[in-house]
Amino acid sequence: MAATRNRASDYLAYLALRLVAMVVHMLGAGRSYRLCRWLGEVFWRVDRRHRRIACRHLRLSFPDWPEERVRRVARRSMHNMLTLGMEIVLTPRLITPRTWRRHIRVSNMAETLRHLLARERGLLMLTGHFGNFEVVGYTMATLGFPTVSVARPLDNAYIWNYMVGLLERTGQSFLYKAGALQSVHGVLGSRGSLSVVADQDAGRKGVFVDFFGRPASAYKSIALLAMRYEVPVLVGYGKRLGRDEFRFEMGVGRIIHPREWAGKDDPVTWITQEYTRALEAVIRAAPEQYLWTYRRWRHRPDGSIAGGDGAA
């Protein structure tokens, strides 16, 4: 049974967030990035648990890296955890139909736009905890291609409603994981675009695929939906460009077409491994932008659970 939330504490946290948002708008992007980097350095020094998790995951994922590089990338990854929230606050102000080109560089998206314009079938758009995965959906909606995102609501309903309200201003919408299945089928059945963060641990019942040289549990539902509706699976990303600028490269790392899994002995595992491999390639290009504190390898194929840091 879920613990009862303290509404007064939740509301105070929401008010604190609104105060921070006001400060961010007053400072502007450049100074806000520098502030987040300073706060992220405090976070790195104080939060020993997440520092340990990030470093351990990086050591296992890049066994040939020297320790100095492991710690440098882990530090920048923890800085970016705070940067993401600041960027969400600034997104509606900076990404508009007239100004988006100042902040977004589009890469390898010609085929994706063709699919969206033709609307011959639905589209599964996948991303991971990399860069700013929220700015991609917002920008697509700004350009007239709204997506429906599957998400788990934050425990604090006040903060969740505020953040979703920011991101839904251009037509992007969210489905909550609990009870979202029927709506998901409705989106794909009507040839819509469904967006999913696809690098989440799926527990003991997931399909295990290779991710940075270790087995990671992934949800079967993505592959099953792609097969049922015969829709392409697109692996996209929003990579930060520069250090103190609100600039991103929005691109596609891989498009998996239905014809590619036709005739495979185990299409569910094949599709899952293919999009996971594509996500890994995106992360390897800028590993400091990945959320290495996330317990991606928490469950093991033998049914056991990894140690407290979630590393396999």
* pTM recorded for the entire structure: 0.89
Over range 47-75, report the average pLDDT: 97
Q: Which range among 75-89, 145-159, 180-194, 259-273 has the greatest average pLDDT?
A: 259-273
pLDDT in tens, 248-304: 999 999 999 999 999 899 999 999 999 999 999 999 999 999 999 988 999 999 878
pLDDT in tens, 160-180: 888 888 888 777 787 765 555
Query: Given strand 233-240, what is the order of strands in its sheet?
Result: 104-107, 248-256, 233-240, 123-127, 193-197, 148-151, 173-176
pLDDT in tens, 116-148: 766 778 889 999 999 998 888 889 889 888 888
pLDDT in tens, 109-118: 777 777 776 6
Distance CA 49, CA 40 (A): 14
Report, at the CATH architecture level, how domain 7-289 is classified.
Answer: 3-Layer(aba) Sandwich (3.40)
Helix (H, G, I), strand (E, B) or coil at 171: coil
Closest CA to 246 of 43, 62, 90, 92: 90
User: How many C-beta atoms surround the C-beta of residue 186 within 10 A?
Assistant: 13
